[in-house]
Each structure stands twice: as structure tokens, then as C-alpha cells.
Chain A
């Protein structure tokens, strides 16, 4: 009897021990599983942070530009001008050789031709033109000596920003300047003539082959024009489609077919829309290449599904009682929709539209297909002028071999991301502020 009890309790103890062991294992598994989740989330957030810090650390320096204060004497004899010269005479004057001569006078140590050329290369190649424009703006400068804030060349700029005064090993040193040039730069810096100012060129110039003269203005204007076309087309069409499908469409095959098509369009890769634009708009209808109008058409087709889907959700959220009350007052179906449903659904529709526009703003691939990758120096003035857009500009710059374009590209990305963050915050704010809960 007692033996049996002892055996039973032994078995119980063993079972309890075993249970405790498995429980421990199970609890450990539970902990492990939770940690997997935490690590995944941590990885995601780390990616966000890494992406942003990487871009910002690369691009922040592009918001300043190195300028050099140089005293220039607009010598009347060298230029062949007098303060009374007309604008045409000034335009005809040879500022190129004047600029070179002034530099040579400043740095007589540049003896042979190679060193002279290296000396000129420290400043942007547009410098003679800038001097000319200064004189045109103020002809009384002729014969005077003034301090001109000269734009440093990209190699100078990169050296001053990243290598100057730092004891870098030869490997880490990112400089394309040679010793002679570095000597001049070091002298200039010591004399206090070199300064970093806010880079207004980045925002006032369009694309250029010279990194120090390249800016995003043309691309931003192109983006705005393209988005304008997209907005003007996609918002009314999407809202009309959503209203039709939610309020008017009979339940039949055609309606089903429209719905299937909208859902499919939402999943078509964006590059295919580029093929469509190329084959239909450019090849078939003979529209010009590289223009915001065609870009807007392509992006409209691309963003339609997004806006339609969110507009439909907004219309669905309007309670039927509103419609019934309107019918009760004798309103027709169209009157009910226009006067009551539409205003109540508008915040949701606008939110969807802003999100769709943000998508369109960041889109690159379809615009490459329709030729918006051309190198365009002029700022577009209308929707039929050749243009490029901000993401395509980023793509073009990221392909450029000059190191200075890396920071320009990152800066352009920062501008693009700022636009996107603003648009998305606006959408979130609009949703919080205006959307009604029933």
C-alpha cells in the first residue's frame, strides 16, 4: 500500500519535474519569439534611420558653396572699355582673357602653361560671364578695383569641404587637386579669402555639366508642371469614377469589368505605363517627347487607381441616412450626390488625391520612357516645353562621374523627401481635421 503511494507520488514528482522543464522551454520559446518580433521591428526602423542619416550626411554639405574673395581691377585698357561703353560693347569685350590675366597677375608663381591652366581651373568656368554681367549691371566698375566673390570649382569646393586642414592619409583623401593647386588653396584659406556661404545656386540654376553650377530649379518647375497636369486630369476623373461606381453603376457585367480593370491597373508595374505613353501618346498621337503634358498623362493613368480606391472608401463611409433624408426632401439622385454625399466625402477624397500626387511626384521609371531624361538647361515655362522632373534629375546626377555630384544628388533627394513629407503630413492632418466619424 505505502509502496504504491510512494511510487505514485514519485511518478507525480517526475511528471511535475518534466512539466516544469517543458514549461521552462516553452517560456523560453515565448521569449525568443517575442525577441524575433522586436528584432524585426528594430531592423525596419534601423533601415529608416540609416537611410535618412546616410542621405543627410552625404547631402548636407551641398547646401553650402565655397566662394573666394578676389580683388579684381577692371582695367579699362585690358578690357578695351570705358565707363561710358554701351552694353553691346561690353558684351563684345573679351572677359575670358581678362579674367585669366587678372589671375596670373595675382599668382605670378604659376609659371608654365600647365600650372596656369590649373590656376584657372580652380574657379568655375562661367566666371568670365559672371564678371561680364557685373560690368553690364554697373558700367562704372570699369577702371575700379573691387572684391569679387568668385565661385570655386567643384574640385576646390570638395577639397575645402572634406580634406582641408584634416590630416588624412593618402587613401582617405578625396581630392582631385594637385600639390600646386592645393598650395594656392591653402594660401587663400589662410588669408581669409575663402568662405562657405549658403548655396543659392542649387535653387536658382537648372541642370549643368559643371557641378558647382548645377541646380534643381528646372527639375522642380518640371515636377510642378507635371503634377499640375496630373492633378487637373486625375482628380475629376477619379472622383467621377468613384461616384459612378458607388452611386450610379447598375450591377452588371460592364460595371464588374470596370472594377476588375481598376484593380489590375493598380498592380501594373510603373514601367509598363511608360511603354504605354511611348507607344500611344508619342508614337501614335505624335505628341512631343520630354514634355510635362505627356508625363502628366502617363502619371494620371498611374495614379487613377489610388485615388479611385480611396474616393470610393470615402463615399462608402457616408451613412445611408444622409441620402435617405435628401430623398425624403424630394431631391433627385444627382442632387443628393452633388449636394450631400460629395461634400461629406470630400476630405477623404482629397486625402487620397494628395497621397496619389505624392506617389506621382516620386515616380521615375515611366518618365524615363517618354524621354524626360534629356539634359535640359532651360527652366520650362509651359506644359509643352521640354522638361525633366526632380526624381529623374536625381537619377541623372547619380550617374555622373564627378564626385561633387554625389552631394548634389543627396541634396536633391533631401528636397524631394521634404516635399513628400510635407504632402503626406498634409494628408494626415486633413484626415484628422476634416474627416467625420459617424
Chain B
């Protein structure tokens, strides 16, 4: 019996329990003179019976599925040959996965060696037992739970209390998933990063200026020693983010100012959603646009400029070299992507500036633009700064545009016409495809992830604090 059939059986069984509970409560209500003489409404009794049937069985199934593998492999390990048990953690894991492969029919025992036969047989038998016992046990628990619930349907027992309690607990468990996923993120990147820093010293990572994660396959191989200096990645990330902000901040800010201070309601109603389309376009589309339209265009213009420079003997123009995967292309497109982000935050902040400030300024004879520049902008500045920080954290964490348009070469340069690489690009390239989980190359991706997480988190915390503080000023 596979898992989905079992789940269907559990759900159907619980539904049966619900209806049985309902009829039972009506039954016991009859001699008492109707449901009004019960402690609570029949559907609460029914829900109680349903919960009694459903929850224990589900808990069993989930726990069993999660723990099953670990328990079985620890049992199988004990039947491995003695000399294998002495092996290190890693090679033991390798042996175990070979045993598992043989047990599931991939490869034969002969390749592994006859001494492993007991382990393989044990694994097969344990797997069959587990697969047989689990559904039986689950259905047994379902029946027992249903029966207990059914017996608890009594006129003086207020089922509503227990049902509402379960409801409350469920709500709490659901809300704590947010906590669990934060912990999951922190722990998963932290553990892998720690094992990375055992292989590569922390300061070599943080202060190194050379990034080439290729690890030598042979010991005597030249040129692929693997060096993990994060500085070129940081510079590349900052360069692209800076170009993006250079586009997004003025455009986003000015659009927000125009829309909230000058535009009529009709224009606003049309332009605002039009700009927000930019926020809804998937990043992979921007990446395609950057790689296939913007980057070639920039290269073409760059080449034309160079030719023109050569003709007119302008030395710096004649030496212009535009890489086909330039930081400029990725930065421009990323800037376009975060325009709506900047403009919507600025819009909120500008609208929060009280009208009295504007009226005071007009009363002194200032024009509208002077009011905006000298009164509204300074008043809104902290909020706008917060918005820009949020936009910066978006730009730093953005992945697809840079993966598709910025390239892989880890050049330590601030020239926007050259190819650079970013933290997110390296995370993706290091982890896409098959990989061993213990090589420094893979673990480096987690160290980069930790770095990225810390940076974006810090930026967000600062930004939210700035925005919040500013809001309190006028409330």
C-alpha cells in the first residue's frame, strides 16, 4: 500500500468518524428531549470524534515516514562486517549507499562483496516489514482513536472546549512555521558554512582577492588549486547594484513625486498600475531581455564608439572594450526591475507627509517644486532612505538577471563594461548539477549564502527601523 492510498484511507476514515459522531450525538439527544439538552451542538461532538480519529493516525504516519530511513540504516549498520564498522563516517556512508543501491535492485551483490550479503538481506527485510507494519498500525490507531472519541460523546461532556482547543493549537503551530523556516535557513547555511571554514580559513575567504572554486581532481594538477576569496564577488555585486540604484532611485523617486504631487487622479489611475507591471514580470524574463537585447545593444554602441574614437584619434575611446556580458547590461535591467519598488515606497512616504507642511510652505510664497524640494523631500528623507536600502537589498539578492547577463568571470574591477560575477551567480553555478556534499566547492555556496543572508537581513532591519521611526514622527 503506498502513502497516498493510506492518506486517502485516513481522510475517509476520519470523515466516517465525523458522521458516526454526529449520529451518535443525535441518538443520545433523543431521550433527553432534543439537541438543546446536550452540552454543545452535535457538530462539535462530530468534530471531536473526527479529530480523535485523524490526528493520532496522521502523527504516526508522518513520524514514521520521517524516522523510518534513519532507524533502518542504524539497524543495518550493525550487521555490516566488523572491519567496515571501524571505517570513518564518510566511507561508512558510502558503503551504506552501495548497500541501499543493491537492495533496491541497482547493481549486484557480487560487485560489493559476499560479506555484505547479510546487510543487504537485513535491509530488504526491514524495508518490507516497515512497509507492511506502518499502514496496519496507522489504521489500528485510527480505529482506536475513533472509538475513544465515540465513547466521549456524552451529554454532559462539552466537546466544544476540546475542539476549540485543538483549533487554537493548530493556529499556533501554523504560525510557528515562520519561526521554523527562519531557523531552517540559519541552521542549514550555518552548518555547511562551518564545515566550509574548517577547510578554508575564515579570513582567506573574507579578505581574499582571488576567486576560482575549481578543485584539483588530481594532486599534481596545476592551476586548479581552488581559492575562495570573496572580495571580487562583493565588488561585482556592489557594482551591479550601484548601477541598478543609479537608474531606479532617480526615476522611481521622480515618478513618485510627480504622481503624488502633480498628476491628476485620472493619470495616476492609469500610470501607477502600468509602472507596477514592471514589478510583476518574472526575473527570468528580465534576464532574457538583458542577455539577448540589452547586452548586445551595449556592445554594439561600444564598438561604434570605439571606431569613432579611433577615427578621431581620441585615445581613451579608441581603447574602449565592451565585454559581451557586461555589468552595465545587468545593472540597467535590474534598475528597471526595481523602479516600481522605489516608487511605491516613496509614494507611501510622500503621502504620509502632513498637508499642513505643504500649506505652510505655499503660504510663504514657495512654488510647488520649491515646496517639494525644500519641505517635503527633507521631511520624507528618512523614509526614502529606508526605501532605497530595501531596494538595495533586493538588488543584492537578485539572482536570475545576473546569472543570465553578468557572466561567471570573477574579475576584480569597477569598470562597468567588463564582465563581473556576483555572490548569487556563484551560489547558483556552484550548486546546479550533481555535486558531492563534502567538497569545499559545494560548501562555499553555503558560505556565500550565509554571507548574503546576513547582508540582506542587516539592510532590511536597518531600513525597517528607519521607516518605522519616521512614521512615528507624524502619527
Contacts and interface: CB of A to CB of B under 8 A. Distances in A.
Given A271-B397, A275-B446, A394-B285, A240 B170 contact: yes
Contacts of B340: 44
Given A40-B254, A269-B397, A258 B164 contact: no
Contacts of B398: 269
Interface stretch (B25-33, B410-418, B427-435): B427-435
B456 to A, nearest CB: 6
A410 B293 CA distance: 12
Contacts of A134: none
Nearest to B171: A244
A279 B175 contact: no
A371 B47 CA distance: 41
Interface stretch (A22-30, A85-93, A157-165, A193-201): A22-30
A370 to B, nearest CB: 9
B325 to A, nearest CB: 13
Contact of A45 (B254, B275, B427, B431): B275
Chain B interface secondary structure, helix, strand, loop or mixed? helix
B281 interface: yes
B164 A48 contact: no
Given A268-B456, A365-B428, A417-B285, A241 B177 contact: yes
B437 interface: yes
Interface in B229-266: 250-255, 257-259, 262
Contact of B452 (A258, A264, A271, A392): A271
B181 A44 contact: no
Interface in B202-224: none
B393 A267 contact: yes
Contacts of A358: 280
Contacts of B285: 51, 55, 362, 394, 413, 416-417
A410 B283 CA distance: 14
B101 to A, nearest CB: 14
Contacts of A413: 285, 288
A378 interface: no
Contacts of B271: 41, 45
B439 interface: no
Interface residues of B, number: 85
A237 B179 CA distance: 13
Contacts of B397: 268-272
Given A276-B185, A334-B167, 15 more contacts: A26-B370, A44-B251, A44-B339, A45-B274, A236-B174, A258-B176, A265-B182, A275-B185, A278-B431, A280-B188, A364-B399, A365-B283, A365-B399, A368-B432, A369-B427
> Which 6 A-B pairs rank lowest in CB-CB distance, beginning with the nearest?
A269-B397, A37-B258, A362-B282, A279-B188, A240-B174, A33-B369
7 contacts: A237-B177, A265-B181, A272-B449, A395-B400, A416-B282, A417-B285, A424-B280
Interface of B: 66, 69, 160, 164, 167-168, 170-172, 174-179, 181-182, 184-185, 188-189, 191-192, 250-255, 257-259, 262, 271, 274-275, 277-278, 280-285, 287-289, 291-293, 336, 339-340, 343, 367-370, 372-373, 390, 393, 396-400, 403-404, 424, 427-428, 431-432, 437, 445-446, 449, 452-453, 456-457, 460-461, 464
